[in-house]
Structure 1
């Protein structure tokens, strides 16, 4: 095991970020959104349509994910396009999905 990043004592900020990230990944709707954004960027409406969710639900979850810097957006006219913003978290998510599929 590569323990080059292992640190015995975690500072409060690191602990907070790690636990908030796992909290984000503990919600089925957020996992579905992040998994969709693994492919490409989507607008809120496209996410809602693809996942058969209400637009307000998608917007709420995207705000949560954006605050954790797990998604980013760009504006094109009046439309916001979202994409994932953290390769590490997306990799963890994809590994967990693969684990679940082969379990």
Structure 2
């Protein structure tokens, strides 16, 4: 049986993924590194909204950022994110 802390962290990760824009952001980042402006264009949201989503995803360690000058480029944190998102989308038949 997982500990209460582990269960809480898992539930929080699922809560974070319960937003369509965050799923789109993660899917885009699984295709490669991207800036906030590029992500905003891809997912159809404002850069401000994308930044707020990225902040939450970064706190959950689902995305990582790399600073280059005044820009930050984001990517999926690791292969675990790819598997997690693929499983969720497979469940609904989106990647079949």
**TM-score, scaled to structure 1:** 0.84
Matches of 2:93 and 2:11, distance apart in 1: 24
Gap runs ≥5 in structure 1: 1-7
What's 1:29 paired with? Answer: 21
Work out which of the residue numbers 46, 68, 76 in structure 1 matches 2:68: 76
**TM-score, scaled to structure 2:** 0.90
Gap runs ≥5 in structure 2: none
Work out which of the residue numbers 38, 55, 58 in structure 2 matches 1:46: 38
Count of aligned residue pairs for this structure pair: 95
Runs of 4+ in 1 over 2 A off after TM superposition: none
What's 1:66 paired with? Answer: 58
Name which one, 1 or 2, has greater alpha-carbon Rg. 1
Matches of 2:82 and 2:5, distance apart in 1: 21
Matches of 1:17 and 1:32, distance apart in 2: 22
1:69/1:86 contact within 8 Å kept: no
